[in-house]
Amino acid sequence: MPVGTAGTVKGMTQAQLEELGVQILLANTYHLYLRPGHEIVRGVGGLHRFMGWPRPILTDSGGFQVMSLKSLGRVTEDGVWFKSHLDGSAHFLSPERAVEVQLALGADIITTLDECVEYPSSHEAIHRAVKLTGRWAGRAKRYYEGRGTGDWGLETGGEPSAISSQPSASETQASEQSAIANHQSPIPAPSPQPPAPALFGIVQGGVDRDLRRESAEGLLELDFEGYALGGLSVGEPKAEMYEVADYTAKLLPRDRPRYLMGVGTPEDLVECVARGIDMFDCVMPTRNARNGCVFTSQGKVLIKHTKYARDESPLDPACECPVCGRYPRSYIRHLLVAGEMLGAILTTQHNLHFYVDRMRKIRQSLLFGAFAEFHSRVRAEP
């Protein structure tokens, strides 16, 4: 999944994403909640209408941004207090609120609020996060299951804005704890958006096998439609990441998607599919592109280097993307050096093609029983 942080994969039009064969996008709940606001997105008809993107969308819960952007105020049993990176305003995110915001956005796959601890953390801290993540997953599931039923006072297919509900006990308590403006009104019930999105639970546990098992088993009891592996690719050694992904994937049901969050390099995709992972998201293809780092069949190319100033060849002679069919390296280098938007646009288009193509090849090799061979070939690449 290419990452569309604020409802856009930076530099790409939705038509270009479709042409590249992108099947599903990730959008960040944290960013869309703060700007333009999930109610605006809901009002326009949801993220698909808002973004002009008819294909699937997955939203994260917002928890990772809250905890990684150093804007974190306080993690409580109820949820997370945080400050906006835009204007410093204070906000509260609970497991229920995270689901509610994601339902308003109208994604196809939504995720439960989790606590992601940094690497390395003490066994105690990871264990505490695993337990809290488990309790939050339960609350998210119960809130999600109550959407659009009589529980929420919804009798007919009325306007979302007409729906209201009583805040939960813990929500009320949180409200009373603070006069922060954005948390004064009760959380409205989620609007029914047929078809209902799939809800994924998130497995935590750092690089500790017992804690990963404990986290997975707790989630399995709740029976999610898919399972995400959180808390990986946060600084641990690569071998350890592969091992934990392998171990954790084996704990999860074969008939539910397994999604490894925030991973990774082109090699990671193959290595982790080999270990049982089905889905990925990562900013690497798009962020690297904007910095002039392009992925090719011959390895990474740092295209801003002076040696490409007169280079007439495409970014990757073996590549079939629209960029490699048209533009020489010299031009793309020129655009990036001159700070022209088209530089980032073209490198992004190329890198996304590389990633989408890699996943396409993985699927094809699996379908035709040739994955082991493909896996070996990728390992032998530069």
Query: Which positions are catalytic?
Result: 60, 281
SS3 category, 238: helix
Nearer to its own copies, 41 or 211 (CB): 41
SS3 category, 296: strand
- Nearest distance in Å: CB 184, its own copies: 22
Evaluate whether 362 touches 371 at the Cβ level (below 8 Å): yes
Q: Which residue has the tokens 């990562």?
A: 282
Question: By CB neighbour count within 10 A (0-12 exposed, 13-18 middle, 19+ buried), where does 287 fall?
Answer: middle
Which structure tokens are listed for 5? 């942080």
Site for its own copies in 322-351 (CB under 8 A): 322, 326-328, 330-331, 333-335, 337-338, 340-342, 344-346, 349
> What Å distances lie between residue 101 and 59, 219, 261, 308, 323, CA to CA?
10, 21, 20, 46, 37
Q: Which stretch binds its own copies (CB under 8 A): 97-105, 121-129, 173-181, 309-317?
A: 309-317
Q: Which of 24, 44, 196, 283 binds its own copies (CB under 8 A)?
A: 44
SS3 category, 368: coil
Round to whole Å and give the CA distance between 208 and 204: 9
Q: Which amino acid appears at position 39 of this protein?
A: E
Site for its own copies in 82-141 (CB under 8 A): none
Q: Which of 87, 159, 255, 312 binds its own copies (CB under 8 A)?
A: 312
Nearer to its own copies, 50 or 355 (CB): 50
SS (HEC) of 249-276: HHHCCCCCCEEECCCCCHHHHHHHHCCC
Nearer to its own copies, 52 or 317 (CB): 52
Residue span 14-33 as binding mask against its own copies, x where in contact by CB under 8 A, dash where not: xxx-----------------
Question: Within 10 A of 54 (CB to CB), how many other CB atoms are there?
Answer: 10
- Nearest distance in Å: CB 306, its own copies: 11
Size of residue set near its own copies by CB under 8 A: 41
- Give yes or no for residue 320 binding its own copies (CB under 8 A): no
Residues 6+ apart with CB under 8 A from 223: none
Residue span 50-89 as binding mask against its own copies, x where in contact by CB under 8 A, dash where not: xxx-------------------------------------
Binding site for its own copies (CB under 8 A): 6-8, 10-16, 35-36, 40, 43-45, 49-52, 309-310, 312, 322, 326-328, 330-331, 333-335, 337-338, 340-342, 344-346, 349
